[in-house]
Chain A
Amino acid sequence: MRRFFLAPAGPSSAPTPPGILAAHFLLVLGVLTFGFTLTFHQLQYHWNWEGPWRYRALFWKGWLTTLALALASLGLSAIVGATAALAAKSRFLPARAASRLYVELVRGTPFLVQILVLFYVVAPALRLDNRFIVGTLALALFAGAYITEIIRAGIDSVGRSQWETARSIGLTTAQTYRHIVAPQALRQTLPPLAGQFVSLVKDSSLLSVIGIGEFALNAQQVNALTYGTLECYLPLALGYLVLTLPLSLWARHLERRTHFDT
């Protein structure tokens, strides 16, 4: 019985079998489902799935748009974050200043304002009229600032002695980053990075303000057409989970694979 409910006392004890772990997930999930069912029962809510089902193409299109937005800005934000983090660590002082300013400006202002400024001020000046591209840029720049800080902290977590040793065996700075710092920093940054990517996926819903037909906007439209609030927003929540859960699981998997003690 103890073994069913308690994790092993120390690293030397036998690990809990995966079956038991899965059972606990199902248990908690079951309790939750039961709770929700009970709550809805109290509400006497009359489900009407006909409306959303009629507009399912709109959901599907929105979900695909969000998926595309998320994938594009995920990659871009990682590049932006890594670049700005390296700039923050650079010996070239203007690069440091630029990195600092970027992070503080983006973190200190609402995302909504950033989207609007980018769309109504910057994009026209650059003759950029593709909403999707502007949206991707906005999202990548926004998340990139947080990722910069995450990566910077990861780099700082690699001790001075590692740099010293790398230098003593003759590695260049670039090689030290590539072979020594990056692999160790990555392990430190994976959990917060995964969290940031999950946020990025959800933050993409704000791009509806510049009229990008992404998942949340389309769900709102279906709601306006059918008046079935829950029937529109429950699929919305599920749709986001389908995007964010794999991200979390993937990060966990990588975390285990890169495991080492220091």
Chain B
Amino acid sequence: MNLRLHDLSKSFDGRTVLQRVHLELQDVHALVLIGPSGGGKSTLLRLLAGLESPDSGTIEIDGSGLPFGNEAALRRHRLQTGFVFQAHNLFPHLTALENVALPLIHVHGVPRPEARRQALELLARFKLDSHAHQRPYELSGGQRQRVAIARSLAVKPRLLLFDEPTSALDPEMTAEVLDTIAALKPEGRDFVLVTHQMGFARRVADHLAFLGDGGIAAHGPGTSLLDSPPTPGIRKFLERVLHY
């Protein structure tokens, strides 16, 4: 994917989170965002998802700008974008299978039996087929997040967005979910991921960007940013997160 952020600004109640952010990337498939809490990572992800509109500036993905201000067009963009949040992704009144099939049926107009077949196939791929008929409260945290990933994949999105998908999980479940995400990479599906797991960032990132103090403080291909932090601030941040 080619991604272009131009002069992107966003503030909440007068508090500037992103200030005139510029970024131009060619042909990245896995962009990883890191940075301190409150640095604006989720905000940027929500802008990319079309869940939030910027105060000014533009976002272009593969040459086409996101149609902010046009809710119908923005919704079409969201249809092609999968989003996995930290937690609470699933609908608690629906089974795993129904959760995955729901967007297929109601948003993409896939006939019900076909949608269920596709959903089951995806769940099987993530070794969740034996849990297909359980509700979220009957699943472990890791299973829940994997169902959420299966749902985001079900609609064959152009772009996948992950916002700290493992921050609510214990280490073992974290590994389980991260392996699932890492397995997506060879498939050539583009994703943008926010994580505090530097080891994982190393493993999947084509490109890494550090967000803090109102913008992208630094970015670079692969893991160059991790190996040689360009600013003292970033070095300190990395030392802290690696410490734990």
Contacts and interface: CB of A to CB of B under 8 A. Distances in A.
Interface of A: 159, 161-162, 164-165, 167-172, 175, 179-180, 183-184, 187, 258, 260-262
Interface of B: 49, 51, 75, 78-79, 81, 83, 85, 88-93, 102-103, 106-107, 135, 137, 151-152, 155
B83 A168 contact: yes
Given A170-B75, A172-B75, A175-B106, A262 B83 contact: no
A261 to B, nearest CB: 4
B103 to A, nearest CB: 4
17 contacts: A165-B89, A168-B49, A168-B78, A168-B81, A169-B102, A169-B107, A169-B152, A170-B75, A170-B103, A171-B106, A175-B106, A179-B102, A183-B93, A184-B91, A184-B92, A184-B93, A260-B135
Contacts of A258: 93
Contact of A169 (B78, B88, B135, B137): B78
B107 to A, nearest CB: 4
Say whether chain A's binding surface is mostly helix, strand, loop, or mixed: helix
Contacts of A260: 92-93, 135, 137
A174 to B, nearest CB: 10
A187 B93 contact: yes
A175 B151 CA distance: 17
Nearest to A159: B88
> Among B79, B85, B91, B137, which residue has the most Cβ atoms of chain A within 10 A?
B91
Nearest to A165: B89
A178 B41 CA distance: 32
B85 A261 contact: no
A147 B137 CA distance: 29
B93 A167 contact: no
Contacts of B79: 169-170
Contacts of B93: 183-184, 187, 258, 260
B6 to A, nearest CB: 24
A159 B90 CA distance: 12
Contact of A165 (B81, B85, B106, B137): B85
A170 B71 CA distance: 11
A175 B102 CA distance: 11
Contacts of B107: 169-171, 175
B193 to A, nearest CB: 16
A56 B49 CA distance: 69
Contacts of B103: 169-171
Given A162-B91, A175-B106, A260-B135, A169 B151 contact: yes
A45 B60 CA distance: 88
Contacts of A171: 103, 106-107
Q: Which of A168, A179, A262 has the most CB of B within 10 A?
A: A168
A165 B135 CA distance: 17
Contacts of B49: 168
A170 B74 CA distance: 9
A14 B165 CA distance: 37
A164 B107 CA distance: 15
B137 A261 contact: yes
Contacts of A167: 51, 78
A22 B69 CA distance: 61
Contacts of B155: 169-170
A164 B238 CA distance: 31
Nearest to B105: A179
Given A167-B78, A169-B151, A260-B93, 9 more contacts: A165-B88, A168-B49, A169-B79, A169-B152, A170-B78, A171-B106, A175-B106, A184-B93, A187-B93
